[in-house]
Chain A
Amino acid sequence: MEGYLVAMATFAALYALLALGLNLVWGMTGMINLGLVGFYAVGAYVSALLTKKAGWPMAAGVLAGMLLAAMAGAALALVTARLRGDYLAIITLGFSEVVRLVASNEIWLTNGTDGISGIPGPWRGQVTPATFNLIYLGLAGVAVAAVYLAMQRVRHSPYGRVLRAIRDDDQVAAVAGKPVIAFKVEAFAVSAAVLGLAGALYGHYTSYIAPEGFVPLISIYIVLALTAGGTGSNTGAVVGAFLVVFFLESTRFVTAALPGLKPVQVAAVREFLIGASLIVVLRVRPAGLVPERLPRHVPPAAPATGAAR
């Protein structure tokens, strides 16, 4: 039971990283990413391959995974930067499918649908599995804390203010002299790097990755996490990730208790509930549980001259 809770907490931390990454583009900049699982996969595969096949140290593999995910993100953002957001929605969704296609078919590199096993993990083999899991939970927690603090810093900085301006009206931001396209591409690349980080950490944690671990449903989990937590709020992203993991696990127990269902029907009911809950949250509480509170600039006490504004 304890092992189960530790594993769930680790997954929640990985989802929190994904939700924080998504929040930077969708919450703060207003750019959509419906294929975030594609960047997650890029991070996972790059780091797994470099550490397992090329013998790179894990830290270097993780960084390389982040870098490649960031480059892919920058490229997609650049192509669609001048177009309506709909194009980014289409292209990111397409990107994640193509990543999965490549992972399934470049068997010489990725071992196809069989996946890659035996990915190294920190101190794996030197400590008991239970200790490894605890160490990894600690690592994932540190990663979440670091990314959370960095994202809070972005949010409260002038940089974050520009991102919000772009989200609310990119033409006004452009008129104010901000290089909107550069900001959009940067934000998307940084966000993709965070998604890549989560993916790399996932691979080193489970020691096994396969294309079926990167299905579009994962993107929905994370959009659900961020929407339920509070789009635009970093705290909301983290809270939402934990809620989603809790929800996913409870659906596992609830559906297992349903009598007379075939396994495929149980799986269908779970996926149905996840999709339906995102729709319900969007309808009922679009601001989320921890709604975004705009950092207020407190103006110096105005001289009370009574001058009408």
Chain B
Amino acid sequence: MSEVAQLLVNGLVAGTILAVPAIGFTAIYAVLRFPNFTVASHATIGAFAGYVANTAGGLPAWAAVGVAFVVAGAAGVVNDEIVLKPLRPAGALTAAIAAVALTIVLENVVRFVWGNDLRGYDLPIRRDWQWAGLRIGPQQVENLAIAVLAMAALFLFLAFTRTGKAMRAVADNPMLAGIKGINADMVGRLVNFVGMGLAGIGGMLLGLDTSIDPLTGFRVILSVFAAAVVGGLGSIPGAVVGALTIGVAEELSLLSLAPAYRTAVGFAAILVVLTLRPRGLLGERAY
């Protein structure tokens, strides 16, 4: 019983962290209408940017997360301007192919500089907290808080600022938004900055738990897709619900599956949801 409770706690923490890059992926999909697989490499870029800020710059983890956001977001804007944006008129799938190629390119830039070695962040050693038979690490709690804050900031931004509303308008109906004078180009850049920035935070939060290497982002990409598709591709609340579902499902799978198959759970979830409820749990709708 307490084992299941422990897995549930772990799953909710993992799911909350997973929600951050999943929101990035789904928000970019909602506005630009193509699956931007470069969330994988931007998660890696964020993880390494945070690593440099943390180890060489001496920033504490929570501050280094800010660096991860800004660097990954800026990289996302630049990469999109140079590579993906000119290809989007050729179709969503052409852009998707280019995104996979770009992911490999970026991953290898990171590999060229830092190599394949596993690297760990410079973190204070702290004892796990225990409560009613459950264990939770202080770092996990800190990561959870960072993830929740990042998401809360995004929701406030989308709900109350003019720019946030413009983003939702373009996602909802690009033509109508254009008629109302919203600059779709600007919104595209913004969603890339925010989306890839969130991917960067996600990559760093995942790395804080374990270690990082050039494949950090790619390894989590299946769970990110699963979260976005299960919740409904293009829906931000959907990505949160999907991520929590996938996080808990991946942990509970440990009861009956080898740990290596955790990521396969996401794939199975995609198949089930697409078969039974193709629009996802919350439906395909931009927030």
> A residues near B, CB below 8 A?
30, 32, 34, 79-80, 82-87, 89-91, 93-95, 97-98, 101-102, 104-105, 216-217, 219-220, 223-224, 227, 262, 264-265, 267-269, 271-272, 274-276, 278-279, 282-283, 286
The chain A residue sitting closest to B86, CB to CB, is A283
| A-B pairs with beta carbons under 8 Å apart, 7 shown | A32-B93, A32-B96, A220-B101, A264-B115, A269-B112, A272-B105, A275-B104
The chain A residue sitting closest to B257, CB to CB, is A105
Asked if A286 meets B94 with Cβ closer than 8 Å, knowing A90-B270, A105-B258, A264-B111, the reply is yes
Could you tell me the distance between the alpha carbons of A85 and B35 in the complex, rounded to whole angstroms?
10
Report A-chain residues with C-beta under 8 Å of the C-beta of B111.
264-265, 267-268, 271
Report B-chain residues with C-beta under 8 Å of the C-beta of A101.
260-261, 263-264
Could you tell me the distance between the alpha carbons of A93 and B99 in the complex, rounded to whole angstroms?
12
The chain A residue sitting closest to B94, CB to CB, is A282
The chain A residue sitting closest to B279, CB to CB, is A83
Q: How many A-B contacts are there with CB distance less than 8 Å?
A: 129
A282 CB contact (under 8 Å) in B98, B104, B109? B98
Could you tell me the distance between the alpha carbons of A217 and B101 in the complex, rounded to whole angstroms?
9
Q: A83-B274, A94-B226, A272-B108 are in contact. List 12 more A-B contacts (CB 8 A).
A: A82-B278, A86-B34, A86-B92, A90-B270, A271-B104, A272-B109, A275-B102, A278-B98, A279-B102, A282-B94, A283-B86, A286-B94
Report A-chain residues with C-beta under 8 Å of the C-beta of B107.
271
| Docked complex: B236-287 residues within 8 A CB-CB of A | 258, 260-261, 263-264, 266-267, 270-271, 274-275, 278
Asked if A95 and B96 sit within 8 Å, CB to CB, the answer is: no
Asked if A93 and B92 sit within 8 Å, CB to CB, the answer is: no
Could you tell me the distance between the alpha carbons of A51 and B221 in the complex, rounded to whole angstroms?
35
Could you tell me the distance between the alpha carbons of A95 and B222 in the complex, rounded to whole angstroms?
10
The chain B residue sitting closest to A112, CB to CB, is B260
Task: Count chain A CB atoms within 10 A of each CB in B86, B97, B225, B270 and give the residue with the most.
Answer: B97
Asked if A93 and B258 sit within 8 Å, CB to CB, the answer is: no
Report B-chain residues with C-beta under 8 Å of the C-beta of A286.
90, 94
Report B-chain residues with C-beta under 8 Å of the C-beta of A272.
104-105, 108-109, 112
The chain A residue sitting closest to B214, CB to CB, is A268
Q: B274 CB to closest chain A CB, in angstroms? A: 5
The DSSP consensus for interface residues of chain B is helix
A216 CB contact (under 8 Å) in B100, B261, B263? B100
Q: Does B149 contact A (CB under 8 A)?
A: no
Q: A113 CB to closest chain B CB, in angstroms? A: 11
Instruction: Provide the B85-125 mask, 1 if CB < 8 A to any CB of A, else 0.
Output: 01100101110111011111101110110011000000000
Could you tell me the distance between the alpha carbons of A86 and B226 in the complex, rounded to whole angstroms?
13
| Docked complex: B148-207 residues within 8 A CB-CB of A | none
Asked if B267 and A98 sit within 8 Å, CB to CB, the answer is: yes
A34 CB contact (under 8 Å) in B96, B116, B218? B96
Asked if B97 and A32 sit within 8 Å, CB to CB, the answer is: yes
Q: B277 CB to closest chain A CB, in angstroms? A: 12
Report A-chain residues with C-beta under 8 Å of the C-beta of B274.
79-80, 83, 87, 91
Rank and list the top 3 A-B pairs by shortest CB-CB distance, nearest first. A275-B104, A275-B105, A278-B101
Asked if A79 meets B275 with Cβ closer than 8 Å, knowing A216-B100, A279-B101, the reply is yes
Could you tell me the distance between the alpha carbons of A90 and B271 in the complex, rounded to whole angstroms?
11
Asked if A217 and B264 sit within 8 Å, CB to CB, the answer is: no
Asked if A279 and B94 sit within 8 Å, CB to CB, the answer is: no
Asked if B263 and A86 sit within 8 Å, CB to CB, the answer is: no
Q: A33 CB to closest chain B CB, in angstroms? A: 10
Report B-chain residues with C-beta under 8 Å of the C-beta of A102.
264
Q: B41 CB to closest chain A CB, in angstroms? A: 10
Asked if A94 and B115 sit within 8 Å, CB to CB, the answer is: no
Could you tell me the distance between the alpha carbons of A111 and B97 in the complex, rounded to whole angstroms?
32
B115 CB contact (under 8 Å) in A80, A87, A98, A262? A262
